[in-house]
């Protein structure tokens, strides 16, 4: 079973502003250093499907996902079909804005194909998990910038 990974950031914006950024899955390529494109099919709800293109240097691979949990302004989770991981964004109000935690877990373990690919092409589980954690931190930092910028009124 893959180790659960998580990163957290505090954002100086209300949950509604943060939710507007996090729940706009078609913009995932702007935030994530690994997911270059996330094509969303239909309105955001449990069951919404996506097709994604991931990248690492010259290596690129497609995935698909399904939204498995959705609680507006609180929780968004999608499951990657190919490797069985679940990526979640938890939003929690704070005195100054919103705390966001991004989490990646594989409750039933990852697929054999994924395990082989990680070992042969991505440097092994330990290295890949460190890379994913760095990516989560980068993703959250970009979400923070977008959410905090969105609440600035332009004249």
Query: Would you list the domain boundaries of the chain?
Result: 5-150
User: pTM (2 decimals)?
Assistant: 0.87
- Kindly report the average pLDDT of the chain as a whole number: 88
Instruction: Take residue 129 and report the two structure tokens written for it.
Output: 């998990």
Rounded to whole angstroms, the Cα distance separating 16 from 26 reads 18
Which carries the bigger pLDDT value, residue 112 or residue 50?
50
| Residue range 5-150 in CATH 3.30.530.20 | yes
Instruction: Take residue 128 and report the two structure tokens written for it.
Output: 């890949």
Strand partners, 65: 50, 80
pLDDT digits (tens, 9 = 90+) for 132-151: 899 999 999 999 999 999 75
pLDDT digits (tens, 9 = 90+) for 70-110: 999 999 999 999 888 999 999 999 999 999 999 999 887 66
Rounded to whole angstroms, the Cα distance separating 34 from 115 reads 17
């Amino acid at each position: 079973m893959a180790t659960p990974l998580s990163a957290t950031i505090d954002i100086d914006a209300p949950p509604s502003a943060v939710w507007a950024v996090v729940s706009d899955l078609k913009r995932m390529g702007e935030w994530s250093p690994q997911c270059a494109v996330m094509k969303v099919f239909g309105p955001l709800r449990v069951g919404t499907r996506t097709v994604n293109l991931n990248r690492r240097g010259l290596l690129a691979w497609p995935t698909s996902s399904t939204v498995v949990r959705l609680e507006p302004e609180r929780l968004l989770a999608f499951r990657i079909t190919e490797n069985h991981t679940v990526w979640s964004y938890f939003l929690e109000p704070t005195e100054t804005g919103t705390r966001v935690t991004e989490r990646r877990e594989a409750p039933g373990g990852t697929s054999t194909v994924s395990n082989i690919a990680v070992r042969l092409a991505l440097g092994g589980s330990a290295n890949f998990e460190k890379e994913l954690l760095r990516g989560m931190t980068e993703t959250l930092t970009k979400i923070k910038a977008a959410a905090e910028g969105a609440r600035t009124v332009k004249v």
